[in-house]
């Protein structure tokens, strides 16, 4: 199974700490052991590169987070602006105008009310009872 980036990153940090401790402790006895000083020098250079790359990774991670936050805010703004533009176009041409299709909008369909068939009673519009004000 693949390890997650976070767990690999933590294990790299853990290894880095162990390797730095090894380099620091070995440096005390470098002159006593043949070939150790040269290897420690190379190890310290590699550890410095790893440390630098981890720092760089954190900088890029923060930059990416900021980029994603900005993009999400821009998406919300774009949706709001799209609604405003749609409203302006619909207000100008009318909700049922075929010209709206030129702008990628779908005109409202004209909904036809069905006429009551002969013999069907029309539904009366309710009127306020006498003595009550309609504006109350």
pLDDT in tens, 97-124: 999 999 999 999 877 666 666 766 666 6
Residue bearing the bigger pLDDT, 31 or 62: 62
pLDDT in tens, 1-55: 455 655 566 799 999 999 999 999 999 888 888 999 999 999 999 999 999 999 9
Contact 106, 100 (CB under 8 A): yes
Cα angle 20, 26, 32 (rounded to 5 degrees) comes to 165
* H helical segments located in the chain: 5-27, 36-93
Supply the pTM of this predicted model: 0.54
Give residue 1's pLDDT. 47
């Amino acid at each position: 199974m693949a390890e997650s980036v976070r767990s690999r990153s933590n294990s790299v940090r853990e290894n880095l700490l162990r390797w730095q401790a090894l380099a620091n402790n070995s440096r005390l006895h470098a002159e006593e052991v043949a070939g150790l000083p040269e290897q420690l020098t190379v190890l310290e250079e590699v550890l410095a590169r790893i440390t630098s790359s981890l720092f760089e990774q954190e900088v890029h991670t923060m930059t990416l987070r900021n980029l994603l936050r900005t993009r999400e805010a821009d998406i919300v703004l774009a949706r709001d602006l799209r609604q405003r533009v749609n409203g302006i176009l619909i207000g100008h041409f009318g909700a049922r105008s075929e010209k709206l299709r030129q702008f990628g909008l779908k005109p409202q369909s004209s909904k036809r009310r069905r006429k009551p068939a002969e013999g069907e009673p029309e539904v009366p519009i309710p009127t306020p009872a006498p003595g009550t004000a309609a504006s109350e």
